[in-house]
C-alpha cells in the first residue's frame, strides 16, 4: 500500500468532538449508576486537589500520579476510557455501547464525518493502511467489520448482540493498527463494542509520558513498521509527535525512508515537529477548519 494514514487525537476531536488529552478532565460523563457517580466524584476531587498542588502540570502527569496514589482502583484509567466511551452509549434503563455494525453507529454524526474522510482518502489515493494512537472506535464504526481488519484479515472479534448471537469476523481490505490499544480490547481478546472501555478494563497504554506501547503491543508495532517501509505517502491527521513520545517518533523515523510526500492535516502548523522525525521534506499542510482539499 502506497499510502499510510496516521490518526491522532486531533482527528477524533475534529470528527466527533472527543477530547484531547488536555481536555480530558472536563467530567462530561453521564453516570449510569451510583457506583459510577462515586468514582467520578473521587476523580474530580483528586484532580481539583492536584491542580492546586501542581500548577502548570499536564493531564498526562496527573494520570501517572493517580495510578500511583489512588491505589484501591485505577480511577484515572477508568475515567479516561469511560469519558471516551460516553458519546457512544445507547439506551437509558439498560445502557449499552454501540455495536460496530449497529444502526446507532451508522447514524452517529461523528462517525459520519470519519466515514466521509476515509472514503475521500480511498477515492483519492487508493486503499490506505491506517495507524492510530487513539483508543476510540471511530474507524471501526465508520468502516464496519466488512471494511477493515486489525492486521489479520478474517480475525474473530466477538459476537453479535443478544438475542441473535453470531460470531463476528473483520474481513475488510483496510488494515487498522491500533498502536496504544483499544476500548474494545481486553487481555482476553477483542470485542464488537467498547464495553471494556465502559468498565475501565480495556487493554490500553494510558496517556502518560513514560508509556511503553511498543512493548505491550509489539505485534501491532511490527506490522505498522512494515506498512511504513512500503509507503510513499504519509497522511498525518491531528498527531503532534510530542518530544516525549520517543517510541512512536522512533517507529516513524526508522521506517520512513521511502516516503515521497507527507500531508499534515492539523489546525496548527506541525512542520517543525515533522522535520524532527522525517527526512522527507515534501510536506503539504491542510487546515481541517478550512476544508479538506486532498489532491
Mean pLDDT of all residues belonging to the chain: 92
Q: What is the pLDDT of residue 211?
A: 63
* Residue appearing with cell numbers 487508493: 126
Q: What CATH number does domain 3-17+100-290 carry, 3.30.310, 1.10.540, 3.40.50, 3.60.21?
A: 3.40.50
Q: What is the pLDDT of residue 293?
A: 59
C-alpha cell at 123: 477515492
Task: Judge contact between 113 and 14, C-beta under 8 A.
Answer: yes
pLDDT at 167 over 60: yes
pTM: 0.94
pLDDT, tens only, 30-65 = 998 999 999 999 999 999 999 999 998 899 999 989
pLDDT, tens only, 64-83 = 899 888 888 899 999 999 99
Q: What is the pLDDT of residue 67?
A: 86
Q: What is the pLDDT of residue 94?
A: 73
Distance separating alpha carbons of residues 147 and 83, to the nearest angstrom: 26
pLDDT, tens only, 273-283 = 999 999 999 99
**Every domain of the chain and the residues it spans:** 3-17+100-290, 21-97
Q: Smallest Cα–Cα separation from 197: which of 180, 211, 209?
A: 180
Amino acid at each position: 500500500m502506497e499510502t499510510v494514514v496516521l490518526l491522532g487525537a486531533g482527528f477524533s476531536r475534529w470528527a466527533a468532538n472527543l477530547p484531547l488529552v488536555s481536555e480530558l478532565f472536563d467530567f462530561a460523563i453521564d453516570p449510569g449508576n451510583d457506583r459510577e457517580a462515586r468514582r467520578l466524584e473521587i476523580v474530580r476531587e483528586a484532580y481539583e486537589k492536584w491542580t492546586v498542588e501542581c500548577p502548570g502540570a499536564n493531564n498526562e502527569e496527573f494520570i501517572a500520579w493517580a495510578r500511583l496514589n489512588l491505589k484501591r482502583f485505577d480511577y484515572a484509567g477508568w475515567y479516561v476510557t469511560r469519558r471516551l466511551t460516553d458519546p457512544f452509549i445507547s439506551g437509558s434503563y439498560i445502557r449499552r455501547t454501540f455495536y460496530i455494525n449497529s444502526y446507532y453507529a451508522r447514524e452517529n454524526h461523528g462517525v459520519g464525518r470519519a466515514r466521509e474522510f476515509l472514503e475521500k482518502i480511498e477515492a483519492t489515493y487508493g486503499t490506505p493502511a491506517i495507524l492510530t494512537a487513539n483508543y476510540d472506535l471511530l474507524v471501526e464504526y465508520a468502516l464496519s467489520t466488512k471494511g477493515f481488519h486489525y492486521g489479520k484479515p478474517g480475525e474473530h472479534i466477538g459476537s453479535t448482540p443478544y438475542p441473535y448471537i453470531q460470531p463476528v469476523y473483520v474481513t475488510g481490505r483496510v488494515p487498522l493498527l491500533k498502536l496504544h490499544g483499544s476500548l474494545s480490547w481486553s487481555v482476553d481478546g477483542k470485542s464488537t463494542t467498547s464495553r471494556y472501555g465502559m468498565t475501565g478494563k480495556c487493554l490500553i497504554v494510558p496517556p502518560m509520558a513514560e508509556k511503553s506501547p511498543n512493548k505491550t503491543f509489539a505485534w501491532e508495532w511490527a506490522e505498522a513498521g512494515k506498512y511504513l517501509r512500503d509507503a510513499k505517502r504519509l497522511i498525518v491527521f491531528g498527531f503532534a509527535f510530542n518530544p516525549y513520545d520517543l517510541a512512536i517518533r522512533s517507529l516513524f523515523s526508522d521506517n520512513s525512508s521511502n516516503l515521497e510526500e507527507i500531508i499534515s492535516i492539523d489546525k496548527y502548523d506541525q512542520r517543525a515537529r515533522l522535520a524532527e522525525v522525517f527526512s522527507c521534506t515534501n510536506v503539504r499542510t491542510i487546515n481541517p477548519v478550512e476544508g479538506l482539499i486532498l489532491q
